[in-house]
Each structure stands twice: as C-alpha cells, then as structure tokens.
Amino acid sequence: MTPENEAAARYFSAITAALSGLEVFMRDDRSPLYRHGIVAKIVAEYIARLDKSFACWRNRLGFMDTFRISRAESGFPVFQNLLELENDRRQADARLANIPLAGELREEMADFILRHKEFPEALQKSMAERLYLEDVKSENTFGPFTLAQTAKVSVNPKTARPYYLVHWATFDGSANLPLVYMVTVEDSSEAMVRQLVDSNGKLNDKVDIPLPVDGLLNPELAHRFDDFAEKNSAYTLSPATIAVNLDKDFEPLHPKQLRRVVLGPFYSAGITDNNSTVTEVLAKVRKPENAWLLTWTIQEVYSKGEKPGRKGLFSSEKTTQEFFINTDDLEAARQGVSSYENHALIPHEAYQALYAAGEAQKIFAGYKVHILSNGQVISDV
C-alpha cells in the first residue's frame, strides 16, 4: 500500500467513525439535541447521506488514484469530489453496461490467480468500479444541493395560518463544509389556509398529508422556494440575511425561525493540519482510528414580532418579520443569529490525550463536548 493510500485509508476510517458517532448522538434520546426531536432526526438523515457518500468515495479509490480534502481548513472533501459523484451517478447505467457482472469478475479473478500466480489488479479495479457505480446510483448521497422537504405541518392558533417545517442541505463549495438548513414558515396563502385550517382554527384532519413531502407544501411556491434555497444557502450568508431574504421574496410566507447546522471542521491526525495544537496531540493517540475530532455549530435566528403590512391605492407593503439578533453577545452579533451552540465529538482515547497534555480546556472553551466511548456518547463532561 502506497503512503497516499495509507493516508486515505486512515482518513476514511476516521471520518466514518466520526459520522457514525455523530449519528448515534443525534438519535440518542439522552442527547442534549434530542429535546428538539425532529431537528435531531433531520440532521441524522443528512449524516447518513454523508456516510453513504464517503462509502462511495472509498470504493472509488479502488480504481481512481486521487481524492482531495481541504486539509488546512474544513477537513472535509473538496467540492470537486461531490461534482464527480453527481456526474458518475448520471453515467452509472451506461458505464455498468460495459463492465462484466460481479460473479463473472470473481470467476475471472480466480482463474487469473490460478494461471498466473499473481494478483489480477486490472480485474480488481473493474470490480471496484462496478461496486462503486452500483452504490452511487442511489439517490441517498449528500449532493452539492439537496432539494427541500416539508417534514411537519401544523397551525398557529394565534394567526390561524398553517406552518411548515422545511429542510434542505448544501455542500458549500468555498468553505468545503456540509450545511443543513431548517425553517419554520407560516403560509397565509388563501388557498392553503382554506385547505389546511378547519373552522376551529386547527389542522384539517380530513386532508391527508403523507409526510415528508418533497418541496414546500404549497405547490404554487414549491419551485420558487427550491430556487431560493439553492441561491441563498452559502456559508458566507448569515442566517439573519437568509431569513430576511426569504421574508422579502415571498409575499405569503412568514419565516418564524431558521436554523443552520454547520458540520465541521474535522480534525484527523496525520491528515489535516487545520489546527496545529490539535494535530500535535492527536498524533500521540495510540490507535489511528481514534485520533480525530469533529466539531459542528447550530445557529438559530427567530422572529420576535411581526410588522403588519398595509394595502393602499398606489402602494402597499407586505407583512414583515422582526428578527432578533443577540447584540449582547458579540459572537452572536457577528454570526447574525439569535443564538448559537458549538459542539465537539471526540473519542475517549483522544480526549484523554488532550486532557493529559493540558490542552482540553483551551481547545474546548465555548464548546459542548461529547465523548464517544464503546459505541455510546457521553455528554456534559
């Protein structure tokens, strides 16, 4: 195995362990995030997509030599890898038609070994490509942009408007970070109010809504909403800016809360160099599969009130939201949020190494730390 392949194998082992641990954390009912219920469930679904992408990339290394990550910044793959994954998905059927079936390849490999007494590298690459293409055909990978879904529908008893919890995801090509978005938005469209709200101001139980629904529940706005989400999901945009843009661009939609989950940076010993102190200490961890640290941030902005619109003969103004930005917290003000949480997930052995080096308190200042130990996550350490 070449040094490059060794490094890739270590990276994939570490990121897979990190994502598996994060998924355990999100689905654990003792998790601090689980109190949000559906939020943790949605994030866990996108983590599973990321995990699927990494499984595909790992297979791809069996027949392709290059795989680039953002070593000095996010610790995640560079954006080009996601574009290649999307391109390979579109071409998968055509390429598979030109590769023998897995059973035939196994027979050829066995025959080659018996006749030549050496390993059939070319056949092995064909097998790896077939496994990769069969895997990548799935729609369950984490793409450059994942279209919105409506995960929950209810009615606000104060306004008698239906509201939706809508989520989508993107992989930011500049920061090389996976981003998950969730917005709670009220809909004052006459047709949707008439259809979804009963005479008692509650959700009409005669309407069957097979959740999750692809796109925004309002069919007249669904395509426009997807376009908006794709154009307004850059990491450089603050959650407040995205919420204000959404409020401004859609007359009948009233965003009440927007959350963004930023996955990363990811630190891995001997692979990433995005934090010299962390890298130096992680290098001392005995087992390479435990020498990593994954961080993520949950940002939230919410409406503290609504400014009523007005209709006039010559001009009119739509109802607008007044979003709360916590200016008492300089970091919250810088991020353009009402609140934020920094989280870190780390294997027990790696945490012990940081603690023993006297670096834990400095590195985890301002973070909620979660330790992965024997397949379980321990929080509040």
**pLDDT (tens digit per residue) in 3-26:** 566 788 889 999 999 999 998 888
Instruction: Establish if 52 belongs to a structural domain.
Output: yes
β-bridge pairing 339-347 and 367-373: parallel
Domain region containing 88: 37-137
Give the model's pLDDT for residue 1: 45
In the block, residue with structure tokens 């469930």 = 41
pLDDT-based confidence at residue 275 (cuts at 50, 70, 90) = confident
Instruction: Establish if 82 belongs to a structural domain.
Output: yes
The total number of structural domains that make up the chain: 1
Cα distances (Å, whole numbers) of residue 123 to 58, 92, 102: 18, 18, 10
Q: Most confidently modeled of 272-276, 324-328, 370-374?
A: 324-328
Give the model's pLDDT for residue 300: 96
Instruction: Establish if 74 belongs to a structural domain.
Output: yes
Give the model's pLDDT for residue 12: 92
Give the DSSP H/E element, type plus range, for residue 373: strand 367-373
Instruction: Establish if 107 belongs to a structural domain.
Output: yes
pLDDT-based confidence at residue 376 (cuts at 50, 70, 90) = confident
Instruction: Establish if 194 belongs to a structural domain.
Output: no
Share of the chain above pLDDT 90, in %: 69
Name which of 135-144, 233-242, 313-322 the model is least confident about. 313-322
pLDDT digits (tens, 9 = 90+) for 97-107: 999 998 999 99
Residue 272 has pLDDT above 90, yes or no: no
Share of the chain above pLDDT 70, in %: 94
The whole-model pTM stands at: 0.93
Residue 297 has pLDDT above 50, yes or no: yes
The sign of the torsion formed by the CA atoms of 239, 244, 246, 247 equals positive
Average pLDDT in the chain: 90
Give the DSSP H/E element, type plus range, for residue 94: helix 79-96
Give the model's pLDDT for residue 252: 95
Instruction: Establish if 90 belongs to a structural domain.
Output: yes
